[in-house]
Amino acid sequence: MRVAPVTGASSGIGRATAERLGRDGWRVLPLARRADRLEELAAKLGNARAVPADVTDEDAPARLREAAEQEGTLHLLVNNAGSVWRASFADGGAENVRRTMALDFDSVVRLTEALLPLLRHSAPSSIVNASSTAGRVALRKQGAYAASKFALTGCSEALRLEQRARGVHVGVVLPGFVATEGFSQQALMRRRLTRWAVSRPEKVAAAILAAGPSGKAERYVPRAYRLAPRTRMLLPGLFGEGSSASGRG
């Protein structure tokens, strides 16, 4: 039985991904803090086992590895759990960076380290890391989040190169705005000109499968967002990166 853990699976992108994998015949291990939601999801999927845990807990990697070994053969790891606490660096400081990195980057590294031996053993296999367009283009008051996603994107690219010869593919998904339980994106959805920029969790789930079992290196959601980093390089003024020198030496 092909096993696929999905972190952050109690809602949004994680839940949509777990449901998609379940329909495709995977043995899904949804992991998140909200045990009641995980149990409901596992019951709905049928072919799933809930793993209630906080990915930042010290024992989370060992618990997930044990569950994967008990349920079948690990062929896919989806690192999706994450959050954002919006604040300028002047307001949020080092503490906001620390807690964001702990969840959005450090936990991914720890889970990947614990499960990589199983993925190597079952190769061909895949890891998909849910980054963000903010992992290529930073925005104001999201410095901590961008730092974690830049780190995750870079680490994913290096790991892909390192593990390719071992049969473990590493893909990265870079969503833009996604309408979820915690982020309704109402302001963007109300305007016809910006409505296109908001995706649904199901679209990101499809991109995760493309970046994992289908072997794509990366996927932007929506696809047009792949132009953002190129545009920043060619036209930095559009991103507020024009010269701010005062002329005083």
Q: pLDDT, tens digit, for every residue of 47-71?
A: 999 999 999 999 999 999 999 999 9
Cis upstream peptide for 201 (omega within 30°): no
**Of the candidates 176, 152, 159, the residue with the CA atom closest to the CA atom of residue 80:** 152
SS3 247: coil
Lowest mean pLDDT among 125-134, 175-184, 208-217: 175-184
Residue indicated by tokens 């896919």: 76
Tens-place pLDDT, residues 202-219: 999 999 999 999 999 999
Domains, the chain: 2-239 (3.40.50.720)
Amino acid occupying residue 115: L
Q: What is the mean pLDDT of the chain?
A: 89
3-state helix, strand, coil split of the chain in percent (to 5) is 55, 15, 30
Q: How far is CA 81 from CA 49, 84, 129, 140, 244, in A?
A: 17, 11, 9, 22, 37
Amino acid occupying residue 20: R
For residue 128, what pLDDT is reported? Answer: 98
Active site residue 220: no
Catalytic residue among 26, 145, 150, 177: 145
Rounded CA Rg of the chain: 18
For residue 189, what pLDDT is reported? Answer: 60
